[in-house]
Amino acid sequence: MKLTTKGRYAVTAMLDLSLHNNEGPVSLADISKRQDISLSYLEQLFSKLRKRGLVVSMRGPGGGYSLSDKPSEIAISNIILAVDENVDVTNCGGTGDCQQTKRCLTHDLWADLSGRIQSFLDDITLDDMMQRQEVLEVAQRQNNKIKEATLHNLTSH
């Protein structure tokens, strides 16, 4: 499977954005701190997400990113595709020229698996992820960690 760090980080960052979307525009610096993803990497990912219409950006003080649609309307597969990832598990990229321009013995098996993975990711939205108790618990822990660090920085000066 060709899902790399880029796809995983894009989904993670979009889920973080979804969880904080009703607080106004979310800065990439805040996502970077909560998710431990480099800011420059997030900038690259969000450039692609913005070009694909999944997020909108606001400039200036208090600026950041917001979702372009409701979390229930954004499928995980759209996020992965927006950052130029795919979920094809065939060795030939789905073209069927696996063995010197001919189809290999297991091509259909891997093509079917790719289809099921795509369908699975098509059926899960950001909202679905936000409803999961485990996700909410992790998000709460991350938020508390950031608040504690901020409080510590304020009291140590």
- DSSP annotation of 28 reads H
Q: Is 39 helix (H, G, I), strand (E, B) or coil?
A: helix
When pLDDT is cut at 50, 70 and 90, the band that residue 2 belongs to is low
The pLDDT, as a whole number, for residue 11 is: 97
Give the model confidence (pLDDT) of 35-56 as tens digits.
999 999 999 999 999 999 999 9
- The domain ranges of the chain are 5-86+125-131
pTM: 0.88
Q: Is 32 helix (H, G, I), strand (E, B) or coil?
A: helix
In order of 1, 6, 25, 45, 140, the CA distances from 88 in angstroms are 6, 15, 34, 20, 34
Q: Is the pLDDT of residue 80 over 70?
A: yes
How long is the chain? Answer: 157
Rg (CA), the chain: 19
Give the model confidence (pLDDT) of 14-32 as tens digits.
999 999 999 899 999 999 9
Query: What CATH code is assigned to 5-86+125-131?
Result: 1.10.10.10
The pair of structure tokens assigned to 4 is 């790399």
